[in-house]
Chain A
C-alpha cells in the first residue's frame, strides 16, 4: 500500500536542508515554464577530508563541504544550466528561471504532480562505518605506518610523503517525469610519493590506491603492496633510461594499461562527440574495428571500484556496456540527451563533477576482456620493442584520433626477453589504427586500483581501467637516440 503524496515527504537526506516535495515541484514547474520538454535537479552534499604527511609527521589536514543544487533544462539537444549554493525556495526558483531561458516559448509541459522514489538501486559500494564517523586520530596510524615502512624498505629513501583522502557525496536527483533518486557515494584515496638518492642522483615515483569503500579498504595486504610497488618502482629508476625514439612493437602489462583503451577508443565513443559528428568513430557502429578476440567494456558494476556507480548522475541505470564485441563496434556511451538523439536506451554514462556542472557522457570502469594468448607467449613474440607497466597520464584528439599515454616504468624487450628498464617516455598513436594493431590479448585481465581521474570540458570524474597483457604491433615511442 503506498502512502498518499499529500502527507509524506519522500525527500530523504536533503530534508535536513529544508528541501521538501513542494519546493522540488515548484522548482521543476519554473524550470519548464518557458516551454522546455524536460528538467532535472541535482542536489549534492559532499564532505571531504584529507590528511598529509611530510617529513615524518601528519602535519596538515583539510576538509571541504560542497552543498548546492544544479538545475538543468533540456529542450531537444539544447541545455540550460544554473546552480546555486543557497537552497532557499527563492534561490531555487531564481536558478530555475535562469536555466529555463534556453527555451523561448510558453509552457507546454506541466511539472509532475506526484513524485515517486524510482526503484531500488543496486548496492555496489556499501560501507560499514561511514567516513563522517571516522575520526582523524583513527586515520593517523595508516599514514605514519606507511611512512615508516617505506623508510624501512630501502636505505636509499630520503623523503616520503603520504596523502590520504576520503569523501562522502550524497546526491538527490529529481526530474520532471517525477522520479526521485538518492545515492550515497563514498570514496577514498591514498597516494604515496617516495624520493630516493643513490650515487649522487635522485629519483622519485608515486603510486596510489583508491576505491568507493570505507576504512576497511586499507587491508594489510593492500597497503603492503602499495609500499612495495612504490619503493620498487622508484629504485628501478636508477637503472632505467629513456628508450630509443621511433616505431616499434609495444606490449602493455595487465592492469593500468587500460589507459590505452580510455584514450584510444573510450573518449571517441562518448556519444556527445558522435552526435556532433566530430569523432573519428562517428558512423562506425556495427563495423569491425579490431581482431575478433578484442572485447572492450565500460562497466559501472565492479564492487567498490573507483569507477563504479549505482546510478548515473541523471538517475539512469548503469550496468556493463559492451563497446566492442568480438572486434565489432557495438555502441556509444550515452547520456539521456544522446540516447534520445539516437533513439536508444541511455547506457548510464551521464556523469558530472558536481552540482556546478551539467552531465555529459563519461566513462566509468573501462577494460578489455581476457583473450586467447598467454603473457609469456606475447613477450616471446617480440624481437625488439618495449613493455609498459606503469603510467602517469594520457590524452586524445577526438576527431583526428591521435592519442598519447605517458609511461613511467617499463622495459626494453630484446629477443623475447625483458632486458633493460626504461622510464619517462610518451607513446603516441592513432586510435583506430592502434586498435587494428592489437594482435595478441592474454588471459590475465586485472582492474587497476589506482586513483585515476578523467578530465573533459573542465570536469573531472573518478574512473577505473583495466587490461590483460596485450601486444600492439607498432606505436611511436617518444624516446631519445
Chain B
C-alpha cells in the first residue's frame, strides 16, 4: 500500500475513532522544481517537496473541512480529535453527506496521459540549459537591442494524491507538468518599459514546443507593444486572442457554480435551457482529454468524471454542482469544478478572423477589471492592436471594455479553429460584434 494511501486511511480511521460518522481524507505529496535565469546568469533555483492531508468530517449532521502539513502521528491524532470536537460546536446541516456511492461507479479506464514516467530523469543541468536557450533565442530576434532585461524559467512538478472515503471509496491520482517561460522588457522612446512574455506547458516533457520558439515569441510580443497608445472610445468588433479569452469566459462560468446559484448571486439562475449566447457558443466540460491540464478520472468528491455539455448552440445546458449544492437546489450533481473545456471549433484561425474586419480591435491582453456575478455587468482593462482593412495596425494600450454577459455573448460572431493549448479552458480565438471600448 502506498504511503499516501496509508496516511489517508489513517486520517479517516482517526476521524471515525474520534466520533465522526463519516469522513474523507485526501493525502498529497508534491515536488516542484524551478530554475529562473536572468540576463545571462542564474537568478533563482527552488526545489520543494510538500506533503499534507485534507480531511472532511461529518459529525452528528455537522460538517468541517480541515488540513494539516504536520503528519507526525501524535500531531495528527491531536489535530483530528480537536477538529471533530470543533465540528460538534457548529450548527447541523441536513444537506451535508458523502455523495451517493452510485456516482463513484463508472470511472473511465482511459489513459489520460497526464503522468510523465520520465519525470525523475529531468536534471538540474537540463533545466539550466533550457533556461539559457530561452534567453539566447529571446535576444536573437531583430530589434533585440531595445531589450532591458530577459527573465526565463524552466519548471516542472509532480503531484500525487490518494483519496479515501469512509464508505469505501479509494482512488489515487498522479500528474506531471512542465513549463517554459520567457519575459522580456524593452525601452520605449518615451521612457516606458513595456513587458510581455511567452510561455508553454505540457503534461509530458516530450510534448513541449521548442524553447527557442518560446523565447523568440516573448521578444516579438514585447517589441510589438512599442509606441502603444490609447485609442478613441468607440463601439467596434473585437477579436479576442485565444491566450486571453479564458479570463473573460471565466467570468461567464463563475456564476454557473453551486454556491452563487443557490445563494442567488448568479445572473444565470433560472436560465438552464435558455439561449444565453449566440449559436456559436458551444462547449462541454470534458475531464477525459488526453494530456489535458484538467483531466481526471474522478473529481474532488470521488465522483466518476464524465463529459457533459455546458452550452449547446448558445443554450445553457448544465451548471457545475457538487453534491452539497445539488441537494440544496434539488438537482442532480455534475461536478464542483471545471476540468477541461472542449469547444465546437470554427474553420478559421486568428488571421482569417482579423482579415474579415474592415475595422476593429485585436485584444491580446487583459488588465484588471472585474465582473458582477449577480447582474452580469463587467468592465475589463484591455490592450492590443487596432485592426484596419483586415490587417493588424497600431498597438493600443490603457483601454477598457464593458458590457453585460447576457447580451455580450449573443454578439459572438465567429469562433476560431485554434484552441489555446496551454490552459484547461482551451479557448479558441473569438470574434465579437459591437463591443464598447473606452479610451480617449
Chain A residues within 8 Å of B, Cβ to Cβ:
49, 51, 54, 57-68, 77-86, 98-99, 101-102, 135-137, 140, 158-159, 161, 193, 195, 197, 201-204, 242, 245-247, 263, 276-280, 282, 356, 358, 392-406, 423-426, 428-430, 476-481
Chain B residues lying within 8 Å of A98, measured Cβ to Cβ, are 47
* Contact status of A395 and B49, CB under 8 A, knowing A62-B66, A65-B68, A68-B69: no
The residue of chain A having its C-beta at the shortest distance from the C-beta of B79 within the complex is A65
7 extra A-B contacts, CB within 8 A, seeds A242-B379, A424-B372, A478-B402: A51-B90, A57-B93, A62-B66, A81-B44, A159-B264, A245-B233, A280-B191
Residue pairs across A and B with Cβ atoms less than 8 A apart, 25 shown, are: A57-B93, A59-B63, A59-B92, A59-B96, A63-B79, A77-B43, A81-B44, A85-B69, A86-B51, A101-B124, A140-B89, A204-B374, A245-B438, A246-B439, A263-B368, A397-B194, A399-B185, A400-B188, A400-B193, A400-B194, A400-B195, A423-B372, A428-B399, A476-B438, A478-B379
Q: Are A276 and B149 in contact (CB under 8 A)?
A: yes
Q: Are B377 and A282 in contact (CB under 8 A)?
A: no
Q: Are B368 and A80 in contact (CB under 8 A)?
A: no
The distance from the CB of A87 to the nearest CB of chain B, in whole angstroms, is: 9
* Contact status of A64 and B68, CB under 8 A, knowing A202-B375, A203-B375: yes
Q: Are A478 and B400 in contact (CB under 8 A)?
A: yes
Q: Is B116 engaged at the interface, CB distance under 8 Å to the other chain?
A: no
* Contact status of A64 and B66, CB under 8 A, knowing A246-B233, A278-B148, A428-B367: yes
The distance from the CB of A86 to the nearest CB of chain B, in whole angstroms, is: 8
Q: Is B289 engaged at the interface, CB distance under 8 Å to the other chain?
A: no
Q: In chain B between 305 and 336, which residues have their CB closer than 8 angstroms to a CB of chain A?
A: none
* Contact status of A63 and B86, CB under 8 A, knowing A78-B42, A424-B378, A426-B381: yes
Q: Are A78 and B264 in contact (CB under 8 A)?
A: no
Q: Is B437 engaged at the interface, CB distance under 8 Å to the other chain?
A: yes
CB-contact partner of B398 in A158, A279, A399, A430, under 8 A: A430
The residue of chain B having its C-beta at the shortest distance from the C-beta of A263 within the complex is B368
* Contact status of A402 and B93, CB under 8 A, knowing A85-B52, A478-B402: no
Given the complex of chains A and B, what is the CA–CA distance between A58 and B79 in angstroms? 21
Given the complex of chains A and B, what is the CA–CA distance between A65 and B68 in angstroms? 4
Interface pairs A-B: 3 shortest CB-CB: A478-B400, A404-B368, A395-B368
The distance from the CB of A54 to the nearest CB of chain B, in whole angstroms, is: 7
* Contact status of A203 and B66, CB under 8 A, knowing A61-B87, A404-B368: no
Chain A residues lying within 8 Å of B263, measured Cβ to Cβ, are 54, 159, 161, 193, 195
Q: Is B50 engaged at the interface, CB distance under 8 Å to the other chain?
A: yes
The residue of chain B having its C-beta at the shortest distance from the C-beta of A102 within the complex is B45
Q: Are B380 and A480 in contact (CB under 8 A)?
A: no
Chain A residues lying within 8 Å of B373, measured Cβ to Cβ, are 204
The residue of chain B having its C-beta at the shortest distance from the C-beta of A104 within the complex is B42
Q: Is B274 engaged at the interface, CB distance under 8 Å to the other chain?
A: no
Judged by DSSP, the binding face of A is: strand
Chain B residues lying within 8 Å of A83, measured Cβ to Cβ, are 48, 50
Q: Are B41 and A78 in contact (CB under 8 A)?
A: yes
* Contact status of A478 and B401, CB under 8 A, knowing A202-B374, A277-B149, A356-B50: yes
CB-contact partner of A136 in B52, B86, B149, B397, under 8 A: B86
The residue of chain B having its C-beta at the shortest distance from the C-beta of A82 within the complex is B47
Q: Are A246 and B374 in contact (CB under 8 A)?
A: no
Q: Is B278 engaged at the interface, CB distance under 8 Å to the other chain?
A: no
Given the complex of chains A and B, what is the CA–CA distance between A400 and B263 in angstroms? 40
CB-contact partner of A60 in B39, B93, B436, under 8 A: B93
Q: Are B402 and A242 in contact (CB under 8 A)?
A: yes
Q: In chain B between 185 and 227, which residues have their CB closer than 8 angstroms to a CB of chain A?
A: 185, 188, 191-195, 225
Given the complex of chains A and B, what is the CA–CA distance between A99 and B47 in angstroms? 7
The 0/1 profile, CB within 8 Å of A marked 1, for residues 70-109 of chain B is 1100000001001100110111110010000000000000
CB-contact partner of B90 in A59, A84, A158, under 8 A: A59
Q: Are B91 and A59 in contact (CB under 8 A)?
A: yes
Given the complex of chains A and B, what is the CA–CA distance between A394 and B194 in angstroms? 19
Chain B residues lying within 8 Å of A394, measured Cβ to Cβ, are 368
Q: Is B383 engaged at the interface, CB distance under 8 Å to the other chain?
A: yes
Chain A residues lying within 8 Å of B440, measured Cβ to Cβ, are 246-247, 476
How big is chain B's contact interface, by range?
A: 35 or more
Q: Are A358 and B46 in contact (CB under 8 A)?
A: yes
Q: Are A426 and B403 in contact (CB under 8 A)?
A: no
Q: Is B6 engaged at the interface, CB distance under 8 Å to the other chain?
A: no
CB-contact partner of A80 in B45, B69, B193, B437, under 8 A: B45
Q: Are A278 and B44 in contact (CB under 8 A)?
A: no
Given the complex of chains A and B, what is the CA–CA distance between A152 and B438 in angstroms? 40
* Contact status of A424 and B368, CB under 8 A, knowing A246-B233, A476-B438: no
Judged by DSSP, the binding face of B is: strand
Given the complex of chains A and B, what is the CA–CA distance between A137 and B87 in angstroms? 10
Chain A residues lying within 8 Å of B71, measured Cβ to Cβ, are 85
Q: Are A135 and B41 in contact (CB under 8 A)?
A: no
Given the complex of chains A and B, what is the CA–CA distance between A371 and B439 in angstroms? 30
Given the complex of chains A and B, what is the CA–CA distance between A292 and B361 in angstroms? 40
CB-contact partner of A195 in B149, B192, B264, B368, under 8 A: B264
Instruction: Tell me how many residue pairs across A and B have CB atoms closer than 8 Å.
Output: 257
Chain B residues lying within 8 Å of A135, measured Cβ to Cβ, are 89
Given the complex of chains A and B, what is the CA–CA distance between A158 and B374 in angstroms? 13
The 0/1 profile, CB within 8 Å of A marked 1, for residues 253-285 of chain B is 000000000011100000000000000000000
Chain A residues lying within 8 Å of B47, measured Cβ to Cβ, are 81-82, 98-99
Q: Is B346 engaged at the interface, CB distance under 8 Å to the other chain?
A: no
The distance from the CB of A378 to the nearest CB of chain B, in whole angstroms, is: 24
The residue of chain A having its C-beta at the shortest distance from the C-beta of B267 within the complex is A202
The 0/1 profile, CB within 8 Å of A marked 1, for residues 144-173 of chain B is 000011010000000000000000000000
Chain A residues lying within 8 Å of B83, measured Cβ to Cβ, are 63
Q: Are A61 and B90 in contact (CB under 8 A)?
A: yes
CB-contact partner of B192 in A60, A280, A478, under 8 A: A280
Most chain B CB neighbours (cut-off 10 Å) among A83, A98, A393, A400: A400
Q: Are B90 and A136 in contact (CB under 8 A)?
A: yes
Given the complex of chains A and B, what is the CA–CA distance between A49 and B65 in angstroms? 10
CB-contact partner of B44 in A58, A80, A246, under 8 A: A80
The distance from the CB of A28 to the nearest CB of chain B, in whole angstroms, is: 18
Given the complex of chains A and B, what is the CA–CA distance between A397 and B400 in angstroms? 15
Chain B residues lying within 8 Å of A430, measured Cβ to Cβ, are 192, 398
CB-contact partner of B43 in A63, A79, A246, A400, under 8 A: A79
Q: Are B69 and A406 in contact (CB under 8 A)?
A: no
Given the complex of chains A and B, what is the CA–CA distance between A478 and B401 in angstroms? 6
The distance from the CB of B423 to the nearest CB of chain A, in whole angstroms, is: 16
The residue of chain A having its C-beta at the shortest distance from the C-beta of B222 within the complex is A399
Given the complex of chains A and B, what is the CA–CA distance between A318 and B373 in angstroms? 39
Q: Is B67 engaged at the interface, CB distance under 8 Å to the other chain?
A: yes
Q: Is B356 engaged at the interface, CB distance under 8 Å to the other chain?
A: no
* Contact status of A426 and B369, CB under 8 A, knowing A135-B89, A195-B374, A280-B191: yes
Q: Are B149 and A278 in contact (CB under 8 A)?
A: yes
Given the complex of chains A and B, what is the CA–CA distance between A397 and B195 in angstroms? 8
Given the complex of chains A and B, what is the CA–CA distance between A441 and B127 in angstroms? 51
Chain A residues lying within 8 Å of B383, measured Cβ to Cβ, are 402
Q: Are A426 and B368 in contact (CB under 8 A)?
A: yes
The distance from the CB of B163 to the nearest CB of chain A, in whole angstroms, is: 18
The distance from the CB of A240 to the nearest CB of chain B, in whole angstroms, is: 10
CB-contact partner of B228 in A395, A400, A426, under 8 A: A400
Given the complex of chains A and B, what is the CA–CA distance between A400 and B66 in angstroms? 42
Given the complex of chains A and B, what is the CA–CA distance between A372 and B38 in angstroms? 45
Q: Are A59 and B398 in contact (CB under 8 A)?
A: no
The residue of chain B having its C-beta at the shortest distance from the C-beta of A97 within the complex is B47
The distance from the CB of A59 to the nearest CB of chain B, in whole angstroms, is: 4
Q: In chain B between 175 and 189, which residues have their CB closer than 8 angstroms to a CB of chain A?
A: 185, 188
Most chain B CB neighbours (cut-off 10 Å) among A140, A158, A202: A202
Chain A residues lying within 8 Å of B126, measured Cβ to Cβ, are none
Q: In chain B between 333 and 386, which residues have their CB closer than 8 angstroms to a CB of chain A?
A: 367-370, 372-375, 377-381, 383
Q: Is B406 engaged at the interface, CB distance under 8 Å to the other chain?
A: no
* Contact status of A476 and B400, CB under 8 A, knowing A59-B62, A276-B151, A400-B228: yes
